Chains A and B, each alone.
Chain A
Amino acid sequence: MNARTKVLKIDLSRYKYEVEDRSELFERWLGGVGVAVQLLREEMDVGADPLSEDNVIVFAIGPLTPAYPMASKTVALFKSPLTGNLGESHAGGRTATSIANAGYGAIIIKGASRTPVYVVVDNEKVHFRDARGIWGIKSSLTAGRIIAEREKGRGMRTVMRIGGAGERLVRYACVTTETYRHFGRLGLGAVFGSKKLKALVVIGRGSYKPADAAGYRRVYEKIFRTALESDVMNKYHLLGTPVNVNPLNELGALPTRNLKAARFEKAEEISGEAFAEFNLGRRVGCSHCPIACIHIAVLREPYEEESYFYKTIMISYDYEPIYALGSMLGVGSRDGLLKLIHRVEVLGLDAMSTGVCLAWATEALEKGLISEEDTLVRLRFGDHEAYLRAMDFLVEQPNDFYKHLAQGVEKASDAYGGKDFALAFGGNEMPGYHVGYATHLGYLIGLRHSHLDNAGYSLDQKADVRAMTPKEIVDSLVEEEIWRQVLSSLVVCFFARGVYKPGTVVEALEPLGIKTSEEELRELGRRIYAEKLRLKMDMGFTLDALRLPRRIFETETPHGMLKEEFFREALDYYKQKIENLIIS
């Protein structure tokens, strides 16, 4: 019996909250995304305006949190102000364990406050705090620090907050948790901003007992040792995700200068190896995860006007911001790139969307679709100083151009042209892989248009993919996405997917009183996938509206030039496939 089956519902319009036990929902859908899809459907009108009080946010955790290590992720579901469709974003930090220890399986945020607030969930109680004095603080770091100092619960809480980007409704603003982790994609930060919610603090210090004490301790140790002693997590253990920079560049799959190229001549300079050698200053971990994959760089900078004064900034780096703000913008100076990553962190922007938007704007300026009067600063690939200023403009939105760009590259290219090189899939800006058909098909059909939905980029790096037909690739992507619905219902970190294999998951659930089988889990994954797709379609999603940016056909991949015909064939097949999935 999973003991974290209570759902806390917070209504910002009425400053009220209630708690309901939904064990039947958790029994049927496990937790995480499985439960969140059902709760969002119950609570939200599918036609809701994403930036109105009708939008609903569901945060959900799963039965493995905090029972086992590396189950430190929270799933957020909401309506995305970036795509106008289903929004889903996952974050680490201390959010998942704090929600679990506070006694909840899910937290729902409804309505909108009239005046800025932040909300503190202190175990069974909820407090609404006046945030007028904090509203307007652009830095998510400063806002987080002020709230952390005012509130109790250090070490057993999460502080999920927005920066200036969320307040100013940048459609790809993120919610930051514990300084360095994010609900990054699809604009949860703007949803917080539209609800006048500066932060959500959750303090938790509860416990519950496993169904089988001895079995629990045994399985725990097995999982723990596998994570540390086998090499399944080495990639994250050593250089972290930036380990990808060099191999992808050598392969010719690293999107560079708005994907005008797929190799970056300065890749070595911004590689995981270079960051580790010259900048890595500290590693930290999410709560209850021994891997500590969060790599933090030290940037030491002299004061502009005074000698022998330095500021030292700690900046978390990962593959995705290195791609989006590095190669995609042609920035090969490591210090310059770190400043860009830091600015994105301070303002509370999604790094990937920001990079792709600015890369598009740079090319649009080169091509004369827009002028310097629009951009206010001369954007040039490689010029990080110009991009730093442009990021501030994205938040301030001093003119029409930045008002459009703050709505994403799809909207901006609707207004100014340049669709062919506006790199978004399903309205979501492109992740950092240009490996082949599976990569781009993955973005297109993934239910949140993320590389993490189905890992097409990984399939493209396997030897036998060249012989695969469009149909086989689609089958393989959907199969992976189905299993990932299980992982994100448990909820375990995708980086730990090598540890949480189907057999291990069954074994881990048993001492918690949840009896299941590998086959049952896959079936559950299939049902969650179908439920999510159905919700997406009810929100207006159609495959026919999906757009393939021309640029992906113009730049060679490791599999050669991509052909549109292959995608058409794949999408036709996918269309039939999902009809069957939804009906069954």
Chain B
Amino acid sequence: MNPDMLRPFPTLMHQIRYHLSTLVMAVILSYGSKKKSMPKRLVIKDIEKCVGCGVCMYACARRSAKDPEIGIDRSGILTTSLSGFERGATVIFCRACEEPPCVPVCPTGALTPRAGGGVSYKEDLCIACGNCIKACNIGAIFERSDGKPAVCVHCGYCAKFCPHGVLAFEEVPA
């Protein structure tokens, strides 16, 4: 619940202070971005809007311009119902942890922390041990048919196809 709602009436001073602080933040952030562009990542705008269409999964499979695939073997995002479509749907993908638990268990350095959260994945280094899949606390790394991980690397390609404003690709502080 919004703490403001607990107060009977937010005073005018409260409101001015709130808007001022937002303004100051915005100025600081825009100044920062001029210096160096901020990393982007895939974010959820409103999960309640998800219709479970899975268009994002298929976009993920096509993300490589040179080597697109048809199917979901290497999709790093999964659409699923919430125990039946009567309860709605959701998407599961890497939430870009600041300290990704999948990184330290990778024996070959195939997974490394990425600026802005989450991981970079070097497929050629991966020996398909599956440690990362087990280590992910939220079950957001999937197993491909060759045993290697299918993990979201926050490229943002799927967000271009999300038809209902669930996913977006946005700048985040590094």
List the interface of chain A (C-beta within 8 A of B): 3, 66-67, 69, 97, 100-101, 123, 141, 144-145, 148-149, 154-156, 178-180, 204-210, 213-214, 216-217, 220, 224, 228, 282-290, 292, 294, 296, 313-314, 512
Q: Which residue of A lies closest to B163 (CB)?
A: A290
Q: Which residue of B lies closest to A180 (CB)?
A: B85
How many of chain B's residues touch chain A, expressed as a range?
Answer: 35 or more
Which has the most chain B C-beta neighbours within 10 Å: A66, A207, A292?
A: A207
Please state if A217 and B62 are interface contacts (CB–CB under 8 Å).
Answer: yes
- Chain B 54-96, CB within 8 Å of chain A: the 1/0 string? 1101100110011111111110001111011111110010000
Q: Is the interface of B mostly helix, strand, loop or mixed?
A: loop
Measured between beta carbons, the chain A residues less than 8 angstroms from B105 are none
Complex: how many Å from CA A327 to CA B88? Answer: 29
From the candidates B65, B79, B86, B164, name the one contacting A155 in the complex (CB within 8 A). Answer: B79
From the candidates B53, B65, B72, B78, name the one contacting A217 in the complex (CB within 8 A). Answer: B65
List the interface of chain B (C-beta within 8 A of A): 51-55, 57-58, 61-62, 65-74, 78-81, 83-89, 92, 142, 144-145, 161, 163-164
Please state if B69 and A208 are interface contacts (CB–CB under 8 Å).
Answer: yes
**Smallest distance from the beta carbon of B66 to chain A beta carbons, Å?**
6
Measured between beta carbons, the chain B residues less than 8 angstroms from A213 are 65-68
3 closest Cβ contacts across the A-B interface?
A: A207-B71, A155-B80, A285-B53
From the candidates A69, A204, A210, name the one contacting B55 in the complex (CB within 8 A). Answer: A69
Please state if B164 and A292 are interface contacts (CB–CB under 8 Å).
Answer: yes
* Given known A206-B73, A287-B53, contact A214–B65 (CB-CB < 8 A): yes
Complex: how many Å from CA A149 to CA B53? Answer: 21
Q: Which residue of B lies closest to A144 (CB)?
A: B84
Complex: how many Å from CA A139 to CA B141? Answer: 34
From the candidates A288, A296, A313, name the one contacting B53 in the complex (CB within 8 A). Answer: A288
**Smallest distance from the beta carbon of A528 to chain B beta carbons, Å?**
24
Which has the most chain B C-beta neighbours within 10 Å: A3, A141, A155, A224?
A: A155
Complex: how many Å from CA A123 to CA B72? Answer: 12
14 other A-B residue contacts (CB within 8 Å) besides A145-B83, A149-B83, A209-B68 = A3-B70, A156-B78, A205-B72, A207-B61, A207-B74, A209-B69, A209-B70, A213-B65, A213-B66, A224-B161, A228-B163, A284-B51, A285-B54, A288-B58
Measured between beta carbons, the chain B residues less than 8 angstroms from A154 are 80-81
From the candidates A101, A179, A283, name the one contacting B72 in the complex (CB within 8 A). Answer: A101
Please state if B53 and A207 are interface contacts (CB–CB under 8 Å).
Answer: no
Measured between beta carbons, the chain A residues less than 8 angstroms from B83 are 145, 148-149
Complex: how many Å from CA A179 to CA B55? Answer: 20
